[in-house]
Structure 1
Amino acid sequence: MHDVIIAGAGPVGLFMAGELALGGCSVLVLERNPEPHQPLQALPLGLRGLNAGSAETFYRRGLLEAAMKASGADPQKVGADPEAVEAPDPRELSHFAGMTLDAADVDTTALPFRLPGPAMEGFMTSLDAVTTVLAERATALGVEIIRNAPVTAVSQDGEGTVITAGAQQYRSRWLVGCDGGRSMVRQLAGFEFVGTEPSFTGYVAQVTFADPEQLPLGFNLTDSGMYLRTPLAGHLGMMDFDGGTFDRSQPLTREHLQTVLRRVSGTDATLNEVHLASSFTDRAMQVTAYRKGRVLLAGDAAHIHSPLGGQGLNLGIGDAMNLGWKLAATIQDTAPASLLDTYTSERLPVGASILGWSRAQVATMKPGPNAPALRNLVRDLMRTTGGTTHVYRRTSGLFHHYALGAGHPILGTSAPDFHFEDGTRLGDLLNSGQGAALDFTDDQALHGAVQKWQGRIRFAAGPVRNSLGLTALLIRPDGVVAWACARTLDPTEFEGAATQWFGTPKG
C-alpha cells in the first residue's frame, strides 16, 4: 500500500508527487492518458505563463534553471542582479481583461519585504515543458507513474482509500485528486462543487491564416467579443459570448472557427486550415472544502475558471506547494493535529479570490451597450499608480497573505530571499523541502532551539546583505513566514511557533 496515490500526471499532480517524495512518502501517480506528451500541451496551444510567484516556487525547489531551459526563458529577464541589495522594479506585468499595464507605474514603496533573487519575474512556458521537468524530478525521487489508468471508482475508510483504475485496484493511506476540471475523484468522492455558469465559449487554435494582416497581434476587444494573436505562428484565441453553449457540443470545424472569428473580429479574415483546436468556457466553480476524509483535491480538480490572466496553472502549483509538506508531515507523524486542516483554510480563500478576479474580467469584456463605458472606467483606474500596483499585487503571485495571527506584518507572507554574506540564500535552504530558521545576530541565539527540530528545520546564522530590519525568522517549507522577530531574540517564542507548524520537538 502506498502512502499517497495521486490522480493526474499534469503539472499539479507531478509537483505534488515530488513534494511528497521529498517528505519521505511512497507515491503512486495514476494518469488517464496513455502517453506523456499531448498535442494540446505543446506550443502553441499549450502556451502558459508562470508568474513570479510560481518562478519563486520552482527556485525554492531547485527547479528554476531546468524549467527556464525547457521553456527557452532568459535567466537575465527572470532574476535580479546577483550583487543587488534592493529589489529591482518590476519589468513586466500581466493584463486585466485584455488591457495591458505599464510596469513603470507600480509604486514599489507599497511592496515591502522584497529582496533581489533569481526569481523576480514570471516567464512564458508550455504545459509540456513544465510536465517534462516535473516528471523527471518525480521519477528521480522514486515516484511511480502509471499511464492509461483512468480512475473509475473511489472508496475510503478510517485506514485509507481504495482506487479502481482500469482493471486494477490500488490501496493508499491518502488520495489526492489532481485530475483536472472534470475530476473523477471529485465526483466519485462526493465533493460539493458550486459557482457560476459560463458567459462565453472560448477557443484556442493553431491555424493557417490567408490574410493575417487583418488581425493585429495581442488582445483585441471588439463590440462582439475578443480575439488574440500571439507571435507564435498560427496561434489564435477567441471569446464568443454565446453563454457557453457551443463548448464541446459540436466538432471544431474550420467553417465554424472562421464564422466565429469574423463575428468577433469584425473582419472578413479567412482561415485556410485548422491544424488543432480546443474550446473552453468561463464557468467558475470551486469545492466548498479541499478535503473529505482521506481524499484531498488540488488544482483544477478543486476550482475552475476562465484562463484570463493565466492564473489557473499558478493557482494549482500554489495548492501543491501548500499541501505537499503538510500531508507528508501528517504521514510521517511529525505534524500537529490541526496542520492538514490549514490546507483548506489557507488555499480556499486564495482560490475564491482568483475566481472573483476571473469573473470581473469577463464582466468587463462582455459586449453590450454599457461595455465601452465600463472598459473606459477600468482602463482609467488601471492607469493610476494605485490601480497598476493593485493589479500587479493580484497577478504576480508574490503577495498572498495567510492569516497566521497577530505579529510582524511579514507574518503569513512569502519570505524574501535573504542573502547571507557567506553566499547562502534562503532559496538554497528550502531546496530539501524542510523549513528554515534564520538568525541574523552574531551570537546564533536560536541555534540550540533549532536543534530540537533537526531534520525538519534547517538553520542559517550570520549577517545578511539586507535584513529588512528583522533579527530572526522561521520559514515554513512552502516559503511562508511562520514567525518573525524585529528585536532581541527570545528562543521560547521561536519554539512556540516551531511547535505550531513542525510538531513536537525531539526528546
Structure 2
Amino acid sequence: MEQVVIVGAGPVGLWLAAELRLGGAAVTVLESRPERDPHSKALTVHPRTIEVLAFRGVADRFLAEGVRIPDGHFGGLDSRMDFGGLDTPFPFTLALPQARTEELLAEHARSVGARVRRGHRVTGLTQTADAVSVEVEGPAGPYVLDAGYVVGCDGTRSTVRAAAGIAFPGTDTTTWGWLGDVVLDDPPPGAVLDASGPRGGVMVVALPGGVHRFVGCDPGGHRADWPGDLTLDELRATVTSITGTDFGMRDPVWLSRFGNATRQAERYRSGRVLLAGDAAHMHFPTGGVGLNVGVQDATNLGWKLAATVTGRASDDLLDTYHAERHPVGADLLVATRAQTALMTSFTPETRALRSLLGDLIATVPEFSRDLAERLSALAVAYPPTTADAHPLTGKRAPDLRFRDGTGLFGLLRAGRHVLLDLADDDRAVPDVGITTHRAPLAEARDDWEGVRFALIRPDGHVAWAGADITPVAREAASSCRA
C-alpha cells in the first residue's frame, strides 16, 4: 500500500510530492495527461513563493530564468504597488511560464525520490477508516491503488473532490476575460504595460522566448454563456480598441478565455482525503495568485502529512491544515472578487473608483504596502491556539540573519522544525531533541525584541517564541523531532 497518492502533477502536486519526500513519506503522483500541457495558465511567481523555494534550496533556477518585475498591480490599476520596501530577500515578482515552472518542479520532485506516473487517470475512490482505494485508468488498463492518504491536486474539476463528497459552493461565471500569447513586431517598452479605459483593460507582459502575453477584459465579456473560442482577429481588434495599436501581433502561440466562476471547497479534509490548490479554490485569475496560493497550501500540508504517515505526529495534526488554509482561501476569494469588479466594469463610476484607489496606492505608502503584503502572501499569519501565545506565533518568519553569517531560510533546507536560540551568552541550552541553531541576530528587530527561543515550522511560520523554553514549549519541540 502506498503511503500517499497525489492526484495531479501540476505545480501544486509536484511541490507537495517533494515536501512529503523531505519529510520521509513515500509518495506516488498520478497525472492523467501523458505529456505536460505546453500552454501556461499561470505566469506570476510571487515573493512568498520564491521564499518557499529558497527554503528548499531550489530558488536559484527560477530566479535565473524568470523576468523580475519590481512591482505588482491590484485590479489592473494604473498605479502599481512598489515591492521594493517589502521585508523579503525577493522584493519582486517573477514572470515565468507555468510550463517551465512545472518542468523545474518535476525535476526537484524526482530528485528527492517522488514517483510520477503520467497517463494514469483517476476515475474514482473509496475510503475506509484505514485506507483509500483509488480507481485508475492506466496505459495498460484499469487498476486499483491503495493508499494511506490521497491528496487531490487535480484542478477545479477535481475528481478527488467529487468522489470524496466535498461540496464546492460559490458563484457561476458572469463575465469573461481573454488571454493571448503572441509574437510582436512592435512590442511596448519595459516588462509590463497596463492600459485601461471605457473600452476595456489590457496588460501586456514580456515572456521568455520573444513572446508577449496579452490578458484583459472588455465590456462585451459580460455574459454567462460561453462566447466562443478567441481568434487572433478578435484579439487584435480588441487590443487596438483599448490601446490604439495591435503592436504588430502575429503568430499566436495560445489564445484562450477564462471566466469569473468563484468557488471554495467546504472542507479541505475529509477523512483520509485532502485537497490543495485549484481543487480547493477557484477564482478569476486576478493578480496571478492562484498557483502561488496552491504551492503555499502544499507547503503547509506537506510537513504535516509526512509527520502523520511516518508516525511522528498523530492524525489530528491534519485538521490544522483546514483550520489554517481554509481562511487563507476565503481571503483569496474576497481579494480576487474585489479585483474582478475593478477589472471588468468600465462605467464612469468604476473608472472614478479606479482613479481614487490608484491615487491612494501612489500617495499613501502604508496603503500600497498593505496591499502588496496581502497580494504576495507575506502577510499570511495563522491564529495561535492559546490566548497567551507570543505575538509572533503563527506569523511568517522573515529570512533572519545571524551573527555567524547564516540565515534562517538556509536552516530550513531539510524541511524540518528548527529551534532558534538567539542568546548572546553562555547559558546552557536544554536538549529538546531537534535541530537547534544558536546565534544572536545580526541586527536588532523590534518585533523580535525579548525573544530568546523560537521554534520555526518547516513552512517558515513561527510555532512559538519566548524568553524561556517552558514545559509547553519542550512538549511542542519534542513532538517535532526529525
TM-score by length of 1: 0.84
Show the 5 A alignment for 1:61-76.
61-69=56-64, 71-72=65-66
CA distance in 2, matches of 1:388, 1:258: 33
Whether 1:199 and 2:181 are equivalent positions in the alignment is no
Which residue of the partner structure matches residue 83 of structure 1? none
Q: 1:395 matched to which residue of 2?
A: 375
Flag the 1:162–1:370 CA change in 2: closer, same or farther, 3 A: same
Percent sequence identity over aligned pairs: 36
2:202 is matched with 227
Match of 2:108 in 1: 137
Match of 1:186 in 2: 161
Partner amino acid for 2:329?
G
Aligned to 1:21: 21
Structure 2 residue 408 is matched with structure 1 residue 426: yes
Segment of structure 1 superposing worse, 330-339 or 432-441: 330-339
Which one is further off, 317-326 or 457-466?
457-466
Counterpart position of 1:286: 264
2:229–2:256: 8 Å Cα contact kept in structure 1? no
**Which blocks of at least 5 consecutive residues in structure 1 are unaligned?**
75-90, 452-456
Q: Which moved more, 1:257-266 or 1:181-190?
A: 257-266
Aligned counterpart, 1:32? 32
Given residue 369 of structure 2, which amino acid in structure 1 is its aligned partner?
A: T
Q: Is the 8 A contact 2:79 2:358 kept in 1?
A: no
Distance in 1 of aligned mates of 2:83 and 2:144 = 56
2:68 is aligned with 1:97 = no
Q: Distance in 1 between matches of 2:383 and 2:391?
A: 11
Residue aligning to 1:174: 149
Report the aligned-residue RMSD: 2.8
1:414 Cα deviation from its structure 2 partner = 0.9
1:49 aligns with 2:44: yes
Which letter maps to 2:203? L
Q: Contact 1:393–1:399 (CA<8 Å) still a contact in 2?
A: yes
Q: 1:210 to 1:465 in 2, by over 3 A?
A: closer
Letter aligned with residue 136 of structure 1: E
Once the two structures are superposed, residues 379-437 of structure 1 have per-residue CA deviations (whole angstroms, 9 ceiling, x without a partner) of 23323223212212211221211111443322111112222222232212211011000
Q: Is the 8 A contact 1:30 1:151 kept in 2?
A: yes
8 Å contact 2:149–2:272 — kept in the other structure? Answer: yes
Name the amino acid aligned to 2:232: R
**1:235-293 deviations in whole A, cap 9, x for unaligned?**
3222235335464x633333443454456557788865534212211211111110111
Distance 1:336 1:173, change over 3 A: closer
The corresponding residue for 2:422 is: 440
- What per-residue deviation string (whole Å, max 9, x for no partner) do you get for residues 81-137 of structure 1? xxxxxxxxxx9331111125466698x6xx8xx5x64x4543222212221221112
Query: Do the aligned partners of 2:82 and 2:368 also contact (CA within 8 Å) in 1?
Result: no
Instruction: Tell whether the 8 Å contact from 2:453 to 2:469 is kept in structure 1 after alignment.
Output: no
Alignment match, 1:408: 390
2:355 aligns to what?
376
| Matched residue type, 1:466 | E
Paired residues, number? 465
In structure 1, distance between residues paired with 2:288 and 2:441: 35
Paired AA for residue 347 in structure 1: R
Q: Does structure 1 conserve the Cα–Cα contact (< 8 Å) formed by 2:382 and 2:394? A: yes
Quickly say closer, same or farther: Cα 1:494–1:121, change in 2 above 3 A: farther
Normalised by the length of structure 2, the TM-score is 0.88
1:450 alignment partner AA: V
Please give the alpha-carbon distance, in whole angstroms, between the structure 2 residues aligned to 1:388 and 1:203: 27
Give the aligned partner of residue 98 of structure 2: 127
Between the aligned partners of 2:83 and 2:33, the Cα distance in structure 1 is 45
Counterpart position of 1:478: 459
